[in-house]
Structure 1
Amino acid sequence: MGWWRGYVAVVVWCCVSVVCRVGFGGDAGLQIVTASRTTPEYTRRSEGDVIELSDGRLLLVSMEFSGDGSDFAKTRLVAQESADGGLTWGQHRVVTETADGDMNVYSPNLIAARDGGVLLLFMRQHRAGELTNHVWKSRDGGATFVPYSEFVPRGDFSLCNATVKRLASGRLLLPANPPVPGQRAETGPYAATVLWSDDDGLTWSVSESRVQLPLRGAMEPHVEQTADGRVLMVLRNQLGRLYMSESVDDGVSWSTARPTDLISPESCPELTRIPGTDDLLMIWNNSFDPKFRSHFGRRSPLTAAVSRDGGRSWQNVRDIETDQARAFSNPGCRFTRSGKAIVNYWTCEYLADWRMQDVIDLRVAVIDRSWFYGAGTEAAAGPAGAVVQREIGSRRELFVDRFLIERMRDLELRLQQPVLAEPTTEPADAMEYGTVIRDGDLFRLYTRDGRGAKFDGDEPEVTRYCESRDGVHWTKPRLGLVEVDGSRENNVILKEAPYCHNFSPFLDVRPGVPAEERFKALGGTVKSGLAAFVSGDGIHWRKLRSEPVITYTKEYAFDSQNVAFWSESEGQYVCYFRHFLEGQLRSVCRTTSSDFVNWSEPVPLRPNFPGEHIYTSLTQPYFRAPHLYVATPTRFHPGRGESTDILFMTARGSSHYDRTFREAWIRPGLDPARWGNRSNYAALNVQQTGVAEMSVYVTPFRRFVLRLDGFASLHAGADGGEMTTWPLVFAGKRLFLNYATSAGGSVRGELRNAAGEPLPGFGLADCKSLVGDEIEGQMEWPGGDLTQWVGQPVRLHLELQEADVYALQFRD
């Protein structure tokens, strides 16, 4: 146990005590002070943790950064004390410095030891991605700390401040943030897990579970035990909402993370129990803006919410800080024995370009426990007191994401599985990269025929064309356009390398498009770039110009089906194309154009979960709700015999893909031939093939069917559940639902004002229950039609039992 001999085992005190107060909050029960201000030498003072000592004093240990104040600058851990409940803080004293040769010392955590001492947990970062975690112990009320244990030496288990918790069993639980297995610690993406100790911090074990999320991953986990013994983990991420995982075995294993009702930018949340109650407290940044320059939204406001049902729903949403010109981040909350919450967090100003400056102060909010139960919104509807509403007009909205949903209880968003239809006696050509276009009452199918090509864009490849009047029975017209193997008696429309490799057409619905350019297409490889083609009839094609219209050189790209369309909602052309994310994973880029010739700088969308290859994107406007883009990409598993399956994703305009549904949408199935490479590609475009049916075409030529709008549903089992939307601004006299119930099930609805109060004549008791199965079932109330509420924010509250709701639409 002599590994710490190189460290100073006593605390270096500064002799001057100062008061650093920023002022009191405007609400009774909320007081905010600055505990530590920056200096020219230490330009950032941030990330800390607080503990109440046995004599009632508060001890705060935080970080001081020298140099430029970046995350990689040299640091030291410093301590301050407060003798008046956190309203004033003494001058700092040094606890430990960055060791010689190391990068910095980071992420203080404080917790009471069983023997009355104080444990200080932190990490030393030797270099990027190489960390050692430490426990130091004080037996004299925080006056001095000495090394106690070292664990996961020179590993990559990064810690966050103020996260260590003691469970009812006595186990210490310390969340950690290693990279996803096989990924670099310097860049991520990151996974979340926990370390635990059953001997009060002397030795530690590591959970084998890794909680993972897309983009940068699952970051800065915080944990808390609920009244029923579960342990919840809340996660920073880039998906626009806080996600949670849970453990039922004291942190040994963890569930798949699921979204909460709380919107959030990429920032660190805090989760804790309110003492004397079974209630949970969340402190986080209640905002989200995917177009914001930094972290998908401002780290403001800093907001609190209470859950009385173990984290399933959140109420009493109240703002602690609201200045939109500042960021408030990395909150840590500890309650004193008198019931006051001591919340420490760092703050800085936003620069003119909305980057966060590196001059950072550490603040403390002292909050009465009763304050958290004061007047607030019923659930997280954006900044407390603000109006967040969805302007849906008379659009059809599908329950494929949480766009409409403010909160729900005992319901789930359930992905629906397409059903394989009987093989047709008149199939189209076997598809490789296929596209199906509905042109009036004619279905047009385009597909590559590789004809033994040895590489992408090889000379033998051609594009074939088929037709159908019902989307089920197909013909292969003899067009006489292209000579193949000495004959023109074929259905080939294009034979021009390398464009036939991934020739992907679409019907251009742009207002005013010239008749001779009614159809457009993209095709090409990374060497040629993507060339633009146009056609007046979908059969005779010409290049729009000789040069490519889209090029990309950052990494290998275009070696898949690259799709484009005119977006009615965005008023521009949109292209989703294949690239290799950071040279490793097959992924998706997005670019836009006003004229189909000049395209914007491509933006990587990063829809991949860790280690996941997205082979195609197949992103398309849904034909019954073109503002909603649905995607049916193929997921490629190179480590599993190069097998494939098909996913379901969505996007709204320029936003990133929504991955509410992580599992496969269409599995390979019983046929062994479908378990190899290139065995499961969906054709571009889902099409309506019956009054209540739509079809998905899949290689080699299979047809899967599902109900109209039926990609996913709001689902309730026998016990029932409920959902409340954000305030909706709609147009139309009536409300129609696409729904299905069992014989014993039902759907009822209630209209509420923006404040959540039922509208007279439109309550649950007034609503005629929907029982049955309808694509367009009208929800009716004795209050009459909805004309009086058009243009006003109205919430829709639904109660379901043994039922699915797929979509809704307000219209005349």
Structure 2
Amino acid sequence: MEAGVKPIELGVGRQLLFDDHLIATSALERVFHQPKVHPATPVLKPETPIEMNGGYCPVACTFQDGAFFDPEDQLFKMTYHAGWFASTALATSKDGIHWDRPVLDVDGVTNRILPIGYPRMRDGAGFWLDTFARDRSERFKMMVYYRHGSHPSTPYTDYDFDGVKEQYAEVYTSPDAIHWTQRGRTGECGDNSNFYFNPFDGRWYYSLRVHADRGRQRSYVAHADFVEGRAWAREDRKNLVVPDEFDHANPSGELPSEIYNFDAVAYEGVMLGIYGMFRGPQNPDSFYRGLPKITDLEIGFSRDGLDWIRPNRGKPFLAPSQRPGQWDRGYLHATGGVCFVVGDELYFYVSGFSGHSPMLGTHAYAGGSVGLVTLRRDGFVSLHAKDAGEMTTKPIVFSGGHFFVNADCAAGRLRVAVLDEEGRAISGYGEEDCHAITVDKVTQSVTWKAGDLTAFAGRPLRFRFLLENAHLYSFWVSRSAAGQSGGYLAAGGPGYSGVIDE
């Protein structure tokens, strides 16, 4: 081992392979994967009187908002924007595919959870299930951005918003996601601001839209207490994610890209982020043409919640269809909580706008619905060998003794050799001693003739992966023979008692 190089503490979670953090040498190809649209999409679309918005701008979609799995009643729960600039409502689901609108005692007639009524108009929002909350009255958290107007046509026909007198955000807490207590206004921020929790440093991050030289970007304020953290001053805001010269423009080249939205969540051992990348046109053109803006979704990762990378920058994780009449014609929005772990898949809820308005024909903010897209668990990126290739890790220190991979070897095989920190093979744990993996599984144990890795816990080791016509998505060392990673599960999922895989 090179002098001065310290072994890497493996830590919790499945180890994703989006960068070379754990890799010393590799002859494998890094392949980025995209999600698939579920055939039930859209899983939520405008139907009720509130959502139909009088026929002007029908909307039933997350405008950021949030979706989480509540292990207490085994329900998926989603807050969403019901009717453009109108109401905040709650939908629930037993399977994440079929969604219900429960009649709630807030008004005894609808599924709304916050007061509705002009002149206060809701804009973007954030929603979070805090499974770590010590106070049950704060188990659910929400942030909503409001505009106060003075004439009813403001949301539909007057882009300049001369009638908007005040804009601000408020935060709320709730024990049940139904009955909410207003906890005060936030500091200065832009529309579509939201928030998320970073369990690696135990702080709430307010993800705040600001405008700078390159247009929309994201700043942040972080605080250990969600409610106390809302009262920031302008000078408290720090840069979080910003666009730069490497962000491609829209296809016509007329506009540089901007960071329209940013959502994040803890997934396994890292923070997973979704960037809403604005590609144009700007608001006036979009509004007067009656067409939704174009926002792609890109994936990013961070090991500390502050330094973010987009390893597949410029190639959308998901892009709008731009096809007339389609639910995802444009204006894609990710959802707070980002994704769920559902069996062998990740569920992402993504909102899109068709632009169809029964009253106006077309409108930039009409036809908002929610689509479901799915991805293999850990399936953001894989290391691939078409014929044969290998990858060797840097020296790693771990606890536990059971080695697992997420790999597709159905048309080939994968073997793992255990090496000492200098790269020498350990007797009984060489590639010839490894029981080859020849299946496609998201949780597959790796074993050797000499046994498991319990005797090596705390000792620096390297692993050499040998792939033949196979994809490797992640690997980890577990304390359990069942393969629990101890990592984070984003917005949770069925079969788990919270948001940690344990």
Q: TM-score range by the shorter chain?
A: 0.7 to 0.9
State the 1:674 CA deviation: 5.5
Match of 1:507 in 2: 129
> Quick one: structure 1 residues 755 and 602, their matched pair in 2 at CA, closer, same or farther if it must change by over 3 Å?
farther
Is the CA contact 1:479–1:490 (under 8 Å) kept in the aligned structure 2? yes
1:539 matched to 2:174? The reply is no
- Aligned-partner SS, 1:799: strand
Measure how far apart 1:537 and its partner are. 0.3
The CA distance in 2 between the partners of 1:585 and 1:676, in whole Å, is: 24
Aligned to 1:388: 6
Q: Secondary structure at the match of 2:137?
A: helix
Tell me the residue number matched to 2:348: 696
Whether contact under 8 Å (1:425, 1:473) holds in the other structure is no
Give 1:735 deviation, angstroms: 0.4
Aligned CA distance change for structure 1 residues 505 and 809 (closer, same or farther; 3 Å): same
The one-letter code of the counterpart of 1:683 is T
Displacement, 1:519?
Answer: 0.7
Are the equivalent residues in 2 in contact too, given 1:576–1:619 (CA < 8 A)?
Answer: no
Deviation at 1:532, TM superposition (A): 2.1
Q: How many residues align?
A: 401
Residue 616 of structure 1 is matched in structure 2 by 261
Change in 2 beyond 3 A, CA 1:481/1:808: same
Higher helix share: 2
Q: Using a 3 Å threshold, how does the CA distance of structure 1 residues 449 and 518 change in structure 2: closer, same or farther?
A: same
Aligned-pair distance for 1:729?
1.2
Alignment match, 1:680: 332
Decide whether aligned partners of structure 1 residues 558 and 621 sit closer, same or farther in structure 2, where only a CA change above 3 A counts.
farther
Shift of 1:664: 0.5
CA contact (8 A) 1:558 1:577 kept: yes
CA distance in 2, matches of 1:673, 1:607: 33
1:450 offset after TM fit, Å?
4.1
Q: Distance in 1 between matches of 2:298 and 2:185?
A: 34
Aligned mates of 1:731, 1:387 — CA distance in 2: 20
Q: 1:583 Cα shift?
A: 3.9
The C-alpha deviation readout for 1:49-89, integer Å capped at 9, x for no partner, is xxxxxxxxxxxxxxxxxxxxxxxxxxxxxxxxxxxxxxxxx
Measured in 2, the distance between the counterparts of 1:737 and 1:676 equals 35
Q: Which residue of 1 aligns with 2:359?
A: none
Overall identity of the aligned pairs, in %: 27
Distance in 1 separating the partners of 2:213 and 2:191: 13
CA contact (8 A) 1:607 1:659 kept: no
CA deviation after TM superposition for structure 1 residue 432, in Å: 4.3
Q: What SS does structure 2 have at the residue aligned with 1:516?
A: helix
1:574 is aligned to 205
The Cα offsets for residues 16-74 of structure 1, whole Å up to 9 and x where unpaired, read as xxxxxxxxxxxxxxxxxxxxxxxxxxxxxxxxxxxxxxxxxxxxxxxxxxxxxxxxxxx
- Stretches of 4+ aligned residues off by more than 4 angstroms: 496-499, 525-529, 673-678
1:673: how far off? 4.5
CA contact 1:498–1:528 (8 Å) conserved in 2 = no
Q: Is the 8 A contact 1:712 1:806 kept in 2?
A: yes
Aligned residues of 1:648 and 1:665 also touching (Cα < 8 A): yes
**2:44/2:61 contact within 8 Å kept:** no
1:560 aligns with 2:159: no
Alpha carbons of 1:654 and 1:698: their partners in 2 closer, same or farther (altered >3 Å)? closer
Secondary structure of residue in 2 paired with 1:617: strand
1:529 and 1:790, CA in 2 relative to 1: closer, same or farther beyond 3 A?
farther
> Which letter does structure 2 place at the counterpart of 1:592?
A
- Separation in 2, partners of 1:405, 1:607: 28
Q: Quick check: 1:739–1:774 contact (8 Å CA) kept in 2?
A: yes
Q: Is the 8 A contact 1:481 1:493 kept in 2?
A: yes
Contact map agreement 1:465 1:476 (CA 8 A) in 2? yes
Please give the per-residue CA displacement for 1:745-783, whole angstroms capped at 9, x wherever unaligned.
211111222222222221222222211101111111112
Is it true that 1:417 corresponds to 2:34 in the alignment?
yes
**Structure 1 match to 2:280:** 638
Residue by residue, what CA displacement relative to the aligned partner does 1:609-642 show, whole Å, maximum 9, x if unpaired?
A: 42321211111122xx1x4211222211115974
In 1, Cα distance between equivalents of 2:404 and 2:264: 27
Please say if residues 394 and 730 of structure 1, whose CA atoms lie closer than 8 Å, have aligned partners that are also in contact. no
Larger-gyration structure (1/2): 1
Q: Say if 1:521 and 1:564, in contact at 8 Å, map to a contact too.
A: no
Following TM superposition, by how much is the alpha carbon of 1:736 offset from its aligned partner in structure 2, in angstroms?
A: 0.5
For 2:303, the equivalent position in structure 1 comes to 652
**Aligned twin of 1:408:** 26
Partner in structure 2 of residue 713 of structure 1? 382
Counterparts of 2:441 and 2:376, CA distance in 1: 10
SS in structure 1 of the partner of residue 321 of structure 2 = coil
**2:125–2:192 contact (8 Å) kept in structure 1:** no
> Which has the higher relative contact order, 1 or 2, with Cα contacts under 8 A spaced 6 or more apart?
2
Q: 1:559 to 1:673 in 2, by over 3 A?
A: farther
Letter of the 2:201 counterpart: E
- Aligned equivalent of 2:428, options 757, 761, 774: 761
Q: What aligned pairs does 1:480-499 form with structure 2 within 5 A after superposition?
A: 480-482=105-107, 489-495=109-115
**Residue identity matched to 1:685:** G
Which residue does 2:360 correspond to in 1? none
2:296 partner amino acid: D
RMSD over aligned Cα atoms: 2.6
Kindly indicate whether residue 15 of structure 2 is the aligned counterpart of residue 397 of structure 1: yes
How far apart in 2 are the matches of 1:793 and 1:590? Answer: 37
Structure 2 Cα separation of the partners of residues 689 and 489 of structure 1: 33
Question: Where does residue 465 of structure 1 map in the other structure?
Answer: 90
Consecutive unaligned residues of structure 1, counting only runs of 5 or more, are: 1-376, 378-383, 454-460, 483-487
Unaligned segments of structure 2, at least 5 residues: 47-59, 148-165, 246-255, 287-292, 352-368, 481-502
> What per-residue deviation string (whole Å, max 9, x for no partner) do you get for residues 237-292 of structure 1?
xxxxxxxxxxxxxxxxxxxxxxxxxxxxxxxxxxxxxxxxxxxxxxxxxxxxxxxx
User: SS of 2:455's equivalent?
Assistant: helix
Residues 505-526 of structure 1: per-residue CA shift (max 9 Å, x gap):
101133x521111111222369
1:772 and 1:670 mapped to 2: Cα distance? 38
